[in-house]
Amino acid sequence: MNIVREDIDSLNTTIRVKVEKNDYAESVEKSLKDYRKKANINGFRPGMAPMSLIRKMYYRYVIADEVTKLASDKLFEFIKENKIRTLGEPIPSEKQTPINWETDETFELAWDLGIAPEIDIKFTKKDKFPFYKILPNDEIRKSYIDNYRNRNGKYVSVDVTDDKGLIKATLTELNDDESPRENGITVEGASISVALVADEAERKKLTGVKVGDVIVIDTHKAFPNQADRSALFRVKKEELENVNPLFQITVTETLTFAPAELNQEFFDAVYGEGVVNSEEEFHKKIEEEIERNLAYESEYRFGIDLKEKLLEKLKIELPKEFLIRWLVAINEGKFTREQIENEFPMFEKDLKWQLISNKVAEEQNFTVTNEELEDFAMGYARSQFAAYGMSFLPDEYIKRYATNILKNRDEVRKMQERILDKKVIEWFKANVNLDTKEITIDEFNKLK
């Protein structure tokens, strides 16, 4: 076999592999004999068909398979030996000469390759990167406290409902003239949340009512979602078509939502038993949480600004046409070329950052240890449980969930990428000139 590299430019190359008869002859013959052993052809006993017939039936497929495999192996061996940094994967060349698999004895297969650009990351004192330190304020503190109080609040009885009210009632289906409908739906102990009523006029009817009040509402306006009406009337969705919109509501209980009080029961529910024992300690915990979350927002924003500024400064060129062809090929008809071209700018941006990140990680010998993966998985698990209000689960529960995450190879790969990405951003933060600015949360949220 002979292999030739033809550089088109610094980002594109074509590699041609020539396969001679003596490279494939033996393996082709062996494959044809295997086909003969397994062939079940009418008129011949299994494995006894003439070799000439087998050759006529299968030769072109066998030789195409064997030659392509030999050439492909040689291609990847060449890429590895010459340490060619490719983007995507080799794709059949547009300059491939026609092949006749039945008559040719020497074959030349060609692949196009996209080459990763060389990146030189250097900075001067003039290169400054913005870093925003977000200042906490009373509004943020109140929102954190209100969030915890609402999450741990409950409904309590009141004389009349308000806009956060919950009404327990008996529902009775009516005719259009508001008379009870014969064989209509009656629901005892139905619950209606005033805040979830979609129509303003219908919502006002349910605000300020007391036990014993009777109201008529249009349920189509109040609950336009079929799933909501189905649950309220306790019928299947397909049965809703025959249900009249008008319903009489006879109020049996009125409640309103009351946020949790700042007491020991509340502190234990939020942070675990005995962790916080006073309002002072609670406010200190809130302050720590705010500081931690604002720091995370600052770091996240720094990563965005860093990437934008680096891409602008380094002006990395990519083999765009090759990459579009490659994306079309690997998606196998899922997306048209036009669709891929429309989405390409975002892909290109992500790929450029990945090249920068890989360059730094390689130069700084960044790696991901098992301990780092386990810590990351634990943190991810904690955040998942916290999202459902379970922020104080024992470590054994968190660890069990994290262990399951680490069994998923795709999840592990994603975590490795995120850990390395974080290390790279931290390296940049420590090695570039920061233009640190203190900023309010409102100003921060207005940043583009």
Q: What is the pLDDT of residue 347?
A: 94
Question: Of 200, 199, 207, whose CA–CA distance to 167 is shortest?
Answer: 207
Distances (CA, A) of 77 to 1, 12, 279, 400: 12, 19, 67, 42
Query: Does 391 score more than 70 pLDDT?
Result: no
- What local confidence, expressed as pLDDT, does residue 53 receive? 86
Identify the helix (H) or strand (E) that includes residue 65. Answer: helix 51-81
**Average pLDDT value for residue range 166-171:** 96
SS3 assignment, position 407: coil
Quick one: what percent of the chain has pLDDT higher than 90?
Answer: 74
Residue type, 407: K
Model confidence pLDDT, tens digit, residues 250-273:
999 999 999 999 999 999 988 888
Question: Taking each helix axis from N to C terminus, what angle separates 320-330 and 337-363, rounded to the nearest 10 degrees?
Answer: 110
Q: What DSSP element (H or E) covers 113?
A: strand 107-115
Lowest mean pLDDT among 9-23, 155-169, 281-295, 388-402: 388-402
| C-alpha 430, offset from chain centre | 29
Give pLDDT, residue 164: 85
Q: How confident is the model at residue 318 (pLDDT cuts 50, 70, 90)?
A: very high
Residue 443's nearest CA partner among 135, 158, 143, 223 is 135
And the tokens for 252?
């049996």
Read off the pLDDT of residues 327-369 as tens digits, 9 standing for 90 and up: 999 988 888 899 999 999 999 999 999 999 999 999 999 999 9
CA-wise closest residue to 294 among 134, 168, 430, 166: 134
**What is the per-residue pLDDT across 172-191, written as a single tens digit (0 to 9) for each?**
999 999 999 999 999 999 99
Would you place residue 39 in the very low, low, confident or very high pLDDT band (cuts 50, 70, 90)?
A: confident
Give the separation between CA 219 and CA 444, rounded to whole angstroms. Answer: 43
pLDDT of residue 136: 93
pLDDT of residue 371: 93
Cα Rg for the chain, rounded, in angstroms?
Answer: 34
pLDDT for residue 393:
67
In this model, does residue 316 exceed pLDDT 90? yes
pLDDT of residue 161: 92
Which segments of 298-365 are extended strands (E)? Answer: none
In this prediction, residue 387 carries a pLDDT of 72
Taking the C-alpha atoms of residue 86 and residue 113, their distance in angstroms, rounded to an integer, is 7
* Section 124-140 average pLDDT: 91
- Identify the pLDDT of residue 332: 84
Mean pLDDT of the chain: 91
Locus of tokens 């249009």:
218
pLDDT at 448: 76
390 has a pLDDT exceeding 70: no
C-alpha distances (whole Å) from 134 to each of 353, 411, 425, 440 are 26, 32, 19, 6
Length of the chain: 448
For the cut 80, the answer to whether the pLDDT of residue 211 exceeds it is yes
Question: What's the mean pLDDT in 232-241?
Answer: 92
Query: Do the bridges between strand 433-440 and strand 128-135 make them parallel or antiparallel, or are there none, so unpaired?
Result: parallel
Average pLDDT on 233-238 reads: 92
pLDDT at 389: 64
User: How far is residue 190 from each of residues 161, 202, 223, 330, 376, measured CA to CA in Å?
Assistant: 15, 17, 14, 54, 45
Q: Are 37 and 45 in contact (CB under 8 A)?
A: no
Q: Which residue has the higher pLDDT, 126 or 314?
A: 314
Helix/strand/coil for 47 = coil
Q: What pLDDT is attached to residue 50?
A: 84
257: enclosing H helix or E strand? strand 246-258
Task: List the beta bridge partners of residue 198.
Answer: none
Calpha distance 302→292 (Å, rounded): 15
Averaged pLDDT for residues 128-150: 93
Pairwise pLDDT comparison (396 vs 91), residue with the higher score: 91
Please report which helix (H) or strand (E) contains residue 3, including its range: strand 2-7
Render pLDDT for 58-72 as a digit per residue (tens, 0 to 9). Answer: 888 889 999 999 999
